[in-house]
Amino acid sequence: MSESTELEVPLALMVQTPDEPGALHALTRVLLEHEANITHIDIAERRGGLSTVYFELEDVAGEAADVLISDLEALPIVRVAERAPSFQKVYGKRIIVVGGGAQVGQVVVGAVAEADRHNIRGEKISVDTIPLVGEEELAAATRAVARLPRAVALVLAGALMGGEVARAVYEIREKGIIVLSLNMPGSVPDAADLVVSDPVQCGVMAVMAVSDSALFDISRQRGRRY
């Protein structure tokens, strides 16, 4: 599957079928026939013997999208096939904040306040958090950010991080994730793109780093500490 560009708006569909083996294969066969590229897929709901599959598709629009939906509805297994707002449109880019509870909370204060300023002008930036302790848990959470849909930045907010967490930071930076860190003991600050001492300001700068409208170029800030 190819990567979609920021300017492309995916076609999002909710398709309900019986919860049984082979259902997904039948759906994707129709998508293949229409040369629709799947950029995201999720089992949104399983209940009462039925399963609802959420698709985000590119390379299909206009009348072609209507024909695709009609062909899906024509499948004997399909109960409902309908358009839905895409996660990209509703939630937009995701910033993930990981670390100690107190530090995470303060980073979120700044990130949510700054995201609100951008979202009210039409952007979509969302903030997700998980308070965690322990090198193994933090490293696993860091690596998982690269697998999260629409995740573009990670803030590591804690009092001490290094070792395997720092190695995980280098790995996800190679995959295009922007990493900000609070100023703390350990090797994580040296591995991050940007280090900010004040947690509220760190949250603000994380949003500015991913915003399309902010006059903030992360490439010019890499390696700096504030």
Residue with tokens 């991913």: 210
Convert 122-146 into a string of H (helix), E (strand) and C (coil). CCCEEEEEEECCCHHHHHHHHHHHC
Residue 114 has pLDDT above 90, yes or no: yes
Domain boundary at 39, 64, 86, which?
Answer: 86
pLDDT at site 17: 97
Residues 141 and 57 in one domain: no
Residues 109 and 217 in one domain: yes
What's the structural domain count of the chain? Answer: 2
Residues 81 and 187 in one domain: no
In a domain, 3, yes or no: no
- Phi, psi torsion values for 29, nearest 5 degrees: -65, -40
Residues 138 and 192 in one domain: yes
Residues 136 and 173 in one domain: yes
Which tokens go with 156? Answer: 């590591």
Encode pLDDT of 140-168 as tens digits: 999 999 999 999 999 999 999 999 999 99
Show the domain range for 111: 91-225
Residue 165: which residues within 8 A CB-CB, separation 6 or more?
135, 138, 139, 142, 156, 186, 188
Encode pLDDT of 39-90 as tens digits: 999 998 899 999 999 999 998 878 899 999 999 999 999 999 999 999 988 9
Residues 75 and 18 in one domain: yes
Q: What is the CATH number of the domain that holds 171?
A: 3.40.50.10550
Residue 3 has pLDDT above 50, yes or no: no
Which tokens go with 206? Answer: 């994380």
Residues 77 and 115 in one domain: no
pLDDT at site 214: 76
Residues 213 and 103 in one domain: yes
Q: Is 59 exposed, middle or buried (0-12, 13-18, 19+ CB in 10 A)?
A: middle
pLDDT at site 8: 61
Question: In degrees, to the nearest 5, what angle opens at C-alpha 86 toward C-alphas 81 and 90?
Answer: 135
**pTM for this entry:** 0.83
